[in-house]
Amino acid sequence: MSDMPQKSTNVVWHSATVTRERRAELNKHQSKVLWFTGLSGAGKSTLAHAVEEELYRRGFRTFVLDGDNVRHGLCADLGFSDRDRVENIRRIGEVSKLFVEAGVLVLTAFISPFRDDRMKVRTLLSSDDFLEIYCKCPLDVCEERDVKGLYKRARAGEIKGFTGISSPYEEPVDPELTIDTSSMTLDDSVQAVLELLLKRGVYSES
């Protein structure tokens, strides 16, 4: 359960009979959070969806939580101040935990620029349920890609607090996997993630 202050009263945690372990047995794979982090334009969403496509082909239960998509609903009330970014990641962490309990491999694609926020999500889950995947890409390469035109607008002063330009990105210190998306092909990157999942016992090739 969350360590957030409990404001609701007269509520009692109800334990379900269909457990995470039973769901894993049914699915024939474990549930984890694959947390893709990196600068805008580093390829987080592209890689997360490519990994999901491969897992889907193998019959896995998956879902991608994409940074832009959740801001159309769950986090539509949040801006991009440091405080709102913290709350954005807190909500995603709680949703990810629900997916894990539901037996789903959840792939999240968020800049999530602050180490402390990523650590809070890690500690929200069981010790081996959070797999941090750092999509490492030089800022100049991300700017060259600029698929959404955001860097250009940030450089022009039209977007305040933009990560990598006017707001910091804190690189992961010890991620489970680092992928240099400026040099690795998408296919090789997907394979690296699959090898991580195999190594961590998420699924078996037998």
SS3 readout for 148-160: CCHHHHHHCCCCC
Catalytic residue, from 31, 40, 112, 167: name it: 112
Q: Establish if 30 belongs to a structural domain.
A: yes
Q: Establish if 28 belongs to a structural domain.
A: yes
The whole-number pLDDT of residue 18 equals 85
The whole-number pLDDT of residue 1 equals 42
Q: Establish if 14 belongs to a structural domain.
A: no
Measured at the CA of 79, the angle between CA 144 and CA 161, to 5 degrees, comes to: 45
Q: Establish if 11 belongs to a structural domain.
A: no
Q: Which residues of the chain have pLDDT under 50?
A: 1
Structure tokens at 60: 């896995």
Q: Establish if 7 belongs to a structural domain.
A: no
Measure the CA–CA gap between 53 and 33, rounded to whole angstroms: 16
Residue indicated by tokens 């800022």 = 139
3-state secondary structure of 165: coil
The whole-number pLDDT of residue 20 equals 82
Q: Where are the beta strands (DSSP E) in 38-112?
A: 62-66, 105-109
Q: Establish if 205 belongs to a structural domain.
A: no
Instruction: With residue 33 as reference, give the H or E element that holds it.
Output: strand 33-37
Q: What's the total number of domains in the chain?
A: 1
Assign residue 40 the CATH number of its domain.
3.40.50.300
96 a catalytic residue: no
Q: Establish if 203 belongs to a structural domain.
A: no
Q: Which domain holds residue 61?
A: 20-197
119-128's contacts with Cβ under 8 Å and 24+ in sequence apart are 120/89, 120/90, 120/93, 121/33, 121/35, 121/89, 121/90, 121/92, 121/93, 121/96, 124/2, 124/93, 124/94, 124/97, 125/33, 125/96, 125/97, 125/100, 128/32, 128/200
Instruction: With residue 199 as reference, give the H or E element that holds it.
Output: helix 186-199
The whole-number pLDDT of residue 5 equals 62
Q: Establish if 8 belongs to a structural domain.
A: no
